A and B are shown apart, each in its own frame.
Chain A
Amino acid sequence: MSFDERFDVIVIGAGHAGCEAASAAARMGAQTALVTLNLDLIGQMSCNPAIGGIAKGHIVREIDALGGIMGRIIDRTGIQFRLLNRSRGPAVQAPRAQADRSLYRIEMRHTLEATPNLHLRQGLVIDFLIKDGRVRGVELQDTRRLRADAVIVATGTFLNGLIHTGRRTYTAGRAGEPASIELAESLKRLGFPVGRLKTGTPPRLDGRTIDWDSFEPQPADERPVPFSFSTEAIEQPQVTCYIGYTNEHVHNYIRSNIHESPLYSGQIKGIGPRYCPSIEDKVVKFPDKLRHQLFLEPEGHNTTEVYLNGFSTSMPAELQQELVHKIPGLEEARIIRPGYAIEYDFVDPRELTPFLQTQSVAGLFFAGQINGTTGYEEAACQGLLAGINATLFIRGREGFRLQRTESYIGVLIDDLITHGVDEPYRMFTSRAECRLSLRHDTADIRLSPYGHKLGLLGDSEWNSFNQRRQRIAILRAALESTRFKRSDSIHYSLCQMLQTDLGCTISLAQLAQRPNVDISLILQYLPSELRSNVSLAELGTALADLLYSGYIEAQRHHLERVYHHDNLYIHENFNYRLISGLSHEMVERLERVRPHTFGQARHISGMTPAALSLLLFRLQFQQSA
């Protein structure tokens, strides 16, 4: 075969997964091509212009801790930062930021262009070049052939994308962009089990036509918490978002026109995400709810376009306009871009190894929505891991994976490859068995050592990580060793202030765990040499470490007891049929997933305790033999 260009790694698609993948591979030293349909839309936020939130914000911080780029870019382009769940336990707090959509794109392209070994190419990939079960490269529509031993597919909603607005349907990857039809066919030809998912987006409004006074302002945090451990300050001017509500008029109008929605006419076959329902779904499934919440989110500093979050719909465009007019405050509002639903192909992720490589074609990796996930953050972290693993693969090195107990990324990939997906998969903190250990502010402690070892974190970042780790350790020690006895005057005044007896002696760490004790109070009593230059965020981290340490220790013991067989390795060619007494159905489940460890086998849905006992028995027998 002749090739126009040769690379080590090719990444198809420059969305959130593709950008991370290409950046990681290139920074690890692989000559990397990032092939996209449109160079001007690199890092495009197809849906809402926001990054983070509960669990998703955790993932972004994990990406950053490993040396990914999403955190830094949103920090430079975010126009409204908020730390969610500020009043709740530290484990469920997470940052969220509205982005300036176009700034984010520009910053992403700029970052990629400044990355050595990274080569941007515009074009439509139509086929994989495969020889002897190994990927050799890709073919573009314009007849160019690119050579590489590792190819990462990060095509998002473009694979066989089909847009619905009312009864009108047309093939597209996003509104106004062509779908990837040939590549979808090529995947099917290779025998991958392909399914169909659906997602949707709301209309965007002309901000000049909105009666802003009818809405409740939702300001940005006064002290924004950045995503990246390397960001010192958020410099973008911060904007306000607005909250409003639908009413019964809107709902009735939707109900009487429900037949116009392709979701309810039977036209859409793909399964949509339950946690991101269209307004049609909300009204039909929760008829007793008298109003639904809406968010007006500005798309950027230099545009009047406004994203109507909470109003995702695939109704015909003229009906969307009528519906919008019925919303209090939007009586005069004009739609700039109508909302739509999009159906796209995904591949059953149980086809993947824990390294996101396909089991049937060596060197072929999948990341993002092709694996059935939804969300920029979920996509980005897969891209990062695929980029890392593609590079390790071409070097003949062992793959890199994360455990469920150490990261949300580990939970996500493990869930995907063991359970597959029934609907677009989104991360929730409750999916993690040990969410107390997976705080957003400890992502660096958990993962930066990996990032450094992989070569994704440079020396200066590594140094600042070590300094931060040390500062927090010093704070923890100070919080535990600073104690006030009954004889101290501070003890007396604290008792007076809290109107309670604090016992004979109380440490700052114990004081912090009492109700109604604010972090500023703790700061006030820190030893003076620490107080002068401590960061409130780091003090918060030290306090949270101490708050959870007992629980985490107890949980670790429990997990060790219950899951101490989980790391038992299952050989790739393990023959389940040889286990006497294991039913045909159980054998089939195991053969479909081909778990690498007993822990993965344990998570396969429908596995009976007896079948697992039989398997465990066999594995232990083999080990001892």
Chain B
Amino acid sequence: MRKLLRKDHFSPRANRVSLQTIFDPESGETLDRALITYFQAPHSFTGEDVIEFSCHGSPVLLLRVIDALLLLGARTADPGEFTLRALAHGRINLNQAEAIRDLIDAQTHAAVRQAARQLGGELSARLQPIKNALLDIIVPLESSLEFVEDDLPEITLERISERLSNLIQRLGDLASTFRAGRLLKEGLRIALVGRPNVGKSSVFNRLLASDRAIVTDIPGTTRDSLSELINIQDILILLTDTAGVRTSDNLIEAIGIERTRRAMADADLIILVLDGTQTLTSEDKELLADVRENKYLIALNKSDLEDFALSNAGGLNGAPIMPISAKTGAGFDAFRDAILKPFTATDIQDGCFLITNARHYDLLRRASDALYSAKQLLESRTSEDLILLRLYESLRILGEITGETTPEDVLSQIFATFCIGK
């Protein structure tokens, strides 16, 4: 540091920012006037002593500062090394480390908010009371086995069973936020399908608000599937424009149609684009039969034309139909809302907590399954040691998020709860 700043007596004040001039240690020329922040251990992200340089934004300048540091014996960090060090120093837990990874990956504002929350250990915090409630079940059961000669209060199976149901419910509620949470983080996959020349690509472009897809009136212009990321109300959406589905002997088009089928199979939502100026063709009806197996939405296009009539799509009783005009943009606000509607049953916008990580979802499911199995054993009057086996399993799984509960922790809880011992 002293060489870099050419100050023999430089010693930064802990957790303070200072303005310093950085010199090239070889040539002695001035590199930059930069802000130097000294984070004294353990008050830094990694828990170690950390110096942060805030330089001016030129990439060339930054590289020269880094070169200077390397020259003085520093080394560059490995990818993820700071997070790993923070983890190793116990500054963050595994859960938070995963949230940091999500934070880096997050591409929309809502996902950033969600990632920021898990960083604060909110999942841990939410699971803690559930884990404590589980301990409250384990403690009397375990005590009744270990301290059979002690004068302990009677435990009723009904009461334990009731408490288990409550816990299963709470874990289930948390786990059920996963779909919405995953949606937030990974985004929705939406496929636009329809027979050729109903205006899929125009709808695609209008949603994209750009001219990404080539639009002509020649049926079958879109031979391959096009995908773009769009953002509706902060939800990331991978929108795929597919080749029009029709029977074709053109090989390239046939491949495109095959890809369309695949895009449909992968999609969270299929938007079937129909031409509102025409009655349903047999191809439309075939497609309709296909999409009915998925979540779908019908966009009745060309509402700007005279021949347009909602009744043209008659006989689709109950299907969600949105009249739109890709050309003028009419009906698109309602259309965008309708796209998100099937996914917002758990309200993403109200700021409630959501599970976004598949590993967490899996752990919650397994923790809940173990409790369910314990409850069944309990109700079939199986011996306590087997019931406890399941309860401990659940505790261990929750511990993968909240931190381990050791046998010693359980014993401490027992001794704090009951007067044990001769």
Contacts and interface: CB of A to CB of B under 8 A. Distances in A.
B251 to A, nearest CB: 49
A88 B411 CA distance: 20
Given A89-B386, A92-B385, A435-B385, A289 B88 contact: no
Interface string B405-422: 011101100010001111
A289 to B, nearest CB: 5
A295 B411 contact: no
A309 B422 contact: yes
B94 interface: yes
Nearest to A50: B422
Interface in A68-100: 84-85, 88-92
B63 interface: no
Contact of A85 (B90, B148, B381, B410): B148
Interface in B136-188: 142, 145-151
Given A282-B419, A428-B407, A89 B384 contact: yes
A435 B383 CA distance: 14
A610 B419 contact: no
A276 B408 CA distance: 16
Contacts of B410: 430
A48 interface: yes
A284 to B, nearest CB: 11
A344 to B, nearest CB: 19
Interface stretch (A35-43, A475-483, A580-588): A580-588
A270 to B, nearest CB: 17
A293 B150 contact: yes
A436 B388 CA distance: 11
B380 interface: yes
A253 interface: no
A614 interface: yes
13 contacts: A54-B145, A89-B384, A89-B386, A92-B145, A274-B415, A274-B420, A276-B421, A277-B421, A293-B150, A585-B89, A609-B87, A609-B94, A610-B97
B385 A436 contact: yes
Interface of A: 48, 53-55, 84-85, 88-92, 245, 273-277, 282, 285-286, 289, 291-293, 295, 309-310, 312, 419, 428-431, 435-436, 515, 551, 555, 581-583, 585-586, 605, 608-611, 614
Nearest to B81: A581
Report the 7 A-B pairs with minimum CB-CB distance, sorted nearest first: A89-B383, A610-B87, A89-B385, A293-B151, A286-B419, A610-B88, A275-B421
A609 B97 CA distance: 11
A315 to B, nearest CB: 17
Nearest to A47: B422
B85 interface: yes
B384 A92 contact: yes
A583 B383 contact: no
B421 A581 contact: no
Nearest to B393: A558
B380 A515 contact: yes
Nearest to A85: B148
B148 A84 contact: yes
B87 A53 contact: no
B196 interface: no
Contacts of A285: 419
A84 B149 contact: yes
Q: Which of B383, B408, B411, B420 has the most CB of A within 10 A?
A: B383
Contacts of B147: 54, 275
Range for the number of chain B residues in contact with chain A: 35 or more
B47 interface: yes
B389 interface: yes
B84 interface: yes
Contacts of A429: 145-146
A582 B97 CA distance: 16
B142 A608 contact: no
Contacts of B408: 419
A419 B409 CA distance: 13
Contacts of B90: 608
A515 B381 CA distance: 7
A442 B151 CA distance: 29
Contacts of B145: 54, 85, 88, 92, 429
A292 B149 CA distance: 12
Contact of A295 (B380, B407, B422): B422
Nearest to A311: B422
B142 A88 contact: no
Given A85-B148, A610-B87, A274 B385 contact: no
Given A85-B145, A581-B85, 11 more contacts: A54-B146, A84-B149, A89-B383, A89-B384, A275-B421, A419-B408, A430-B407, A515-B380, A515-B381, A551-B386, A605-B406
Nearest to B403: A609
B39 to A, nearest CB: 16
A383 B415 CA distance: 29
Interface in B351-410: 380-381, 383-386, 389, 406-408, 410
Nearest to A295: B422
A275 B420 contact: yes
Q: Which of B84, B88, B150, B380 has the most CB of A within 10 A?
A: B88
Nearest to B150: A293
Contacts of A435: 385
A16 to B, nearest CB: 18
B87 A608 contact: yes
Interface string B331-356: 00000000000000000000000000
Contacts of A89: 383-386
B216 to A, nearest CB: 56
Q: Which of A92, A282, A309 has the most CB of B within 10 A?
A: A92
Contacts of A312: 422
A582 B422 contact: no
A88 B146 CA distance: 11
Nearest to B385: A89
A586 B90 CA distance: 10
A295 B149 CA distance: 10
